[in-house]
Amino acid sequence: MSPPYSEQARLVPSILQQEQCRALLQQLQARLPQLHMEGDHNLWIIKPGAKSRGRGITCSARLEEVLEVVGKRVAPSMQAGQWVVQKYVERPLLILGTKFDLRQWFLVTDWNPLTVWFYRDSYVRFCSRPFSLHRLHWSRHLCNVAIQKQWRLSGGRHPKLPRDLIWSSQQFQLYLQQAGHVEAWEKVIVPGMKEAVVAALHSAQELVGSRKGSFELYGADFMFGEDCQPWLLEINTNPSMEPCSAVTRRLCTAVQRNTPHVVLDHKKNPRCSTDEALSDMGSWWPWQCWGTVGLDDLKALF
């Protein structure tokens, strides 16, 4: 049976129309930094607001499917409509044809003035099967360890990927250098991650109750465009510190061991924020936002 006439029809734009389309795309690019990552599948990712570790996440390109999903209640404590719907990154940076993301820890020791510490090391989490926009299975699109551990032994992954689907940030840097992105880590990725985290914290600074003498450890998840530009996916207020590989066993232990040095030793000795004292503080380094911006100063900027 032949398809309907409307499906057989082809639109052949004129030269003028092609030029107008190119001009429009250039204007959009100036206003939408993620335009080159959009793709043409119109995929959206839907995440329940009351769950973690990738549970309940789905992808769809159809509005009616999105509305059907968000109308459901998937947890007793969750009301209908408590979902996050984001445009899916259709053109991410891939490693060996596989999707990945990066978990970056950071520590907030004061909200006013905002004082943030970034951990020097991070780790990369891979999917277990090659990336494909035509196959929306979890094993190809969700990098969460809790999801991928169900599929990592099922076969289908690139033979050069680690068996536990985890890389250290040093392994990631080595890969970038071998792929021709020699300066991407130092000049694009690290500054971009810091900028994104600081901007997110500033956006919530007035909503967080500042308690002097307290701190909180967060885990930020990033994806990257084909140009290595990092894009913040989410910030986890309760990042898992359960080791799932040799890499995370080492890093999770180090993070927990080094955090008290920042929280306690730096309070007693402010000179710990200097480079000389960092050797006593493990792998944390201070990132004080714009000279530490207080709430009153932040309001004055706008």
Of 57, 87, 117, the domain-final residue = 87
Residue 1 within a domain: no
Residue-wise pLDDT tens digits, 112-139: 888 899 999 999 999 999 999 999 888 8
C-alpha distances (whole Å) from 298 to each of 56, 117, 206, 290 are 37, 20, 9, 10
Residue 115 within a domain: yes
Q: Are 101 and 221 in contact (CB under 8 A)?
A: yes
Share of the chain above pLDDT 70, in %: 80
Task: Give the pLDDT of residue 282.
Answer: 56
Residue 101 within a domain: yes
Residue 259 within a domain: yes
Of 32, 53, 87, the domain-final residue = 87
Residue 10 within a domain: no
Residues 184 and 108 in one domain: yes
C-alpha distances (whole Å) from 293 to each of 209, 213, 233, 285, 299 are 16, 18, 24, 18, 10
Residues 129 and 77 in one domain: no
End-to-end CA, the chain = 62
Residues 144 and 287 in one domain: yes
Q: Over the chain, what is the mean pLDDT?
A: 82
Residues 61 and 106 in one domain: no
Residues 159 and 253 in one domain: yes
Residues 42 and 104 in one domain: no
Residue 276: pLDDT over 50 = no
Task: Give the pLDDT of residue 55.
Answer: 75
Look up the domain containing 177 and give its range. 94-292
Confidence label for 92 from pLDDT (cuts 50, 70 and 90): very high
Is the Cα dihedral 270, 273, 274, 275 positive or negative?
positive
CATH number, position 181: 3.30.470.20
Which tokens sit at 12?
């052949």
Identify which has the larger pLDDT, 88 or 102.
Answer: 102
Residues 68 and 198 in one domain: no
Residues 123 and 260 in one domain: yes
In the chain, the number of structural domains is 2
Contacts of residue 220, Cβ cutoff 8 Å, sequence gap at least 6: 103, 104, 105, 106, 193, 196, 197, 232, 234, 235, 236
Task: Give the pLDDT of residue 176.
Answer: 97
Residues 197 and 277 in one domain: yes
Of 87, 121, 148, the domain-final residue = 87
Confidence label for 248 from pLDDT (cuts 50, 70 and 90): very high
Task: Give the pLDDT of residue 83.
Answer: 84
Mean pLDDT, range 250-277, rounded to an integer: 74
CATH number, position 64: 3.30.1490
Residue 228 within a domain: yes
Residue 196 within a domain: yes
Residues 192 and 278 in one domain: yes
Share of the chain above pLDDT 90, in %: 37
Residue 235's nearest CA partner among 290, 196, 187, 287 is 196
Which tokens sit at 80?
């209908």
Separation CA 13–CA 9 (nearest Å): 13
Most confident of 69-73, 81-85, 208-212, 257-261: 257-261
Residue 6 within a domain: no
Residues 69 and 151 in one domain: no
Residue 284: pLDDT over 80 = no
| Chain centroid offset of residue 246 CA | 22
Confidence label for 142 from pLDDT (cuts 50, 70 and 90): confident
Residues 231 and 140 in one domain: yes
Q: Are 189 and 104 in contact (CB under 8 A)?
A: no
